A = this chain, B = another copy of it.
Amino acid sequence: MLGIWNLNKRSYFHMKDLTIGIIGGTGRMGQRLVSFFEDAGYQTLIASRRTSLRPLDLSQKSDVVVLSVPINVVEEIIAEIGPHIREDSLLMDVSSLKTRVMELMLKHTKSSVIGTHPLFGPNTRSIKNHTVVLCPGRGDKWFAWLTNLLKEKGVKVKITTPEEHDRMMSIVQGLTHLSTIALAYTMKTLNVNIDESLEYATPIYRLKLNIMGRLFAQNLSLYRDIEILNPYVREVATTFLHSVNKIAKMVEEGDMDKFAECLETIGDFVGDFRPIGLKETNRLFEEMLDNKDTF
- Which residues of chain A have a CB within 8 Å of any CB of chain B? 72, 119-120, 123-126, 128-131, 133, 158, 165, 168-169, 171-173, 175-179, 181-190, 192, 194, 196-197, 199-205, 207-218, 220-221, 223-224, 227-228, 233-248, 250-252, 254-256, 259-260, 262-267, 269-271, 273-278, 280-289, 291-292, 295
Contact = CB atoms under 8 A, between A and B. Distances in A.
Contacts of A169: 200
Contact of A289 (B128, B184, B234): B128
A241 B233 contact: no
Contacts of A123: 278, 282
Contacts of A119: 200-202
Given A169-B200, A186-B175, A210-B280, A251 B228 contact: yes
Copies of this chain present = 2
B270 A212 contact: yes
Contacts of A194: 270-271, 273
Nearest to A276: B213
Contact of A259 (B172, B228, B281): B228
A158 B199 contact: yes
A32 B273 CA distance: 25
A216 to B, nearest CB: 4
A217 B251 contact: no
Contact of A125 (B133, B223, B273, B286): B286
A238 B234 contact: no
Nearest to A267: B216
Contacts of A280: 210, 213, 288, 295
Given A120-B202, A172-B201, 4 more contacts: A130-B203, A176-B202, A234-B251, A238-B252
Contact of A266 (B181, B199, B283, B284): B181
